Amino acid sequence: MANSSLFVFDSHQTIIYLLVYVDDIIITSNSSSQVSHLVIALSKAFELKDLGALSYFLGIQIVPSRFGLTLCQSKYASDNPTSSHLEAAKRVLHYERGTLHFGIHLAPSPLTFSAFSDADWVGDPIDRKSTTGMLVFLGSNPISWSSKKQSTVSCSSTEAEYRVLASTAIELAWLCTLFKELRLFLPHIPILWCDSNSAIALASNPVFHSTM
């Protein structure tokens, strides 16, 4: 399985997804009656508390509307700040306060993947490491993103860009595997965007792969 916490039941046109995180569970299905049967069966084996429709999970609020779903962290941001945080992270808290009700809106969209990758070469003047950034869209919805420092020093901007290109490709491959297990068909090959011509040339020529 692409995700060891995800369990899939697919039989007689009924499909159920069950996602477990420690002691929290999300269940969704194309049959509400089957979900009820599953909850009853689980409650006989485990102590469960049915919280109803999904509204809050891992610090993220889920707000449904007729246009789709909006994910935000206004409750988490309201409950976290203390006087010690104000001392240590004043700029961060000012940002949180100014964007308290910002969120990510998810709307019905085509099942197509597109991803963007980028890197700043030697972004840290102290350890000379580069920072990579990637963003993956499902249709028009952002579903996966990352921004972090590379673990090793890149000797050129091409190498820094190639590293993030490779890690983004790995993320896309994992997402494709996950969607396959979810029985979701992707009609098109994912598109990976990169603004470095030299990194694209390097990635396109397998002869050079062993040099990186």
Are residue 114 and residue 188 in the same domain, yes or no? yes
DSSP 8-state code for residue 39: H
Are residue 7 and residue 44 in the same domain, yes or no? yes
How does residue 124 score in pLDDT terms, banded at 50, 70 and 90?
A: confident
Q: Does residue 207 have a pLDDT over 70?
A: no
Are residue 210 and residue 146 in the same domain, yes or no? yes
**Token pair for residue 190?**
């994912």
Are residue 168 and residue 92 in the same domain, yes or no? no
Are residue 21 and residue 40 in the same domain, yes or no? yes
- The answer to whether the pTM exceeds 0.85 is no
Distance of CA 76 to the CA centre of its chain: 18
Half-sphere exposure of 166 (CA within 13 A, CB side): 13
How does residue 209 score in pLDDT terms, banded at 50, 70 and 90?
A: low
Are residue 197 and residue 115 in the same domain, yes or no? yes
Q: Does residue 150 have a pLDDT over 90?
A: no
Check which CATH number belongs to the domain holding 119 and give it: 3.30.420.10
Are residue 179 and residue 94 in the same domain, yes or no? no
CA angle 173, 175, 178 (to 5 degrees): 115
Instruction: Compute and round to an integer the Cα radius of gyration of the chain.
Output: 21
Dihedral of CA 162/163/167/170: which sign?
Answer: positive
Average pLDDT over residues 88-98: 78
Average pLDDT, the chain: 87
Residues 6+ apart with CB under 8 A from 42: 48
User: Domain range holding 114?
Assistant: 110-212
So what's the pLDDT on residue 210?
Answer: 59
Average pLDDT over residues 17-22: 91
* Domain count across the chain: 3
- Classify each residue of 36-55 as buried b or exposed e, where b means 16 or more C-beta atoms within 10 Å of its C-beta: eebeeeeeeeeeeeeeeeee
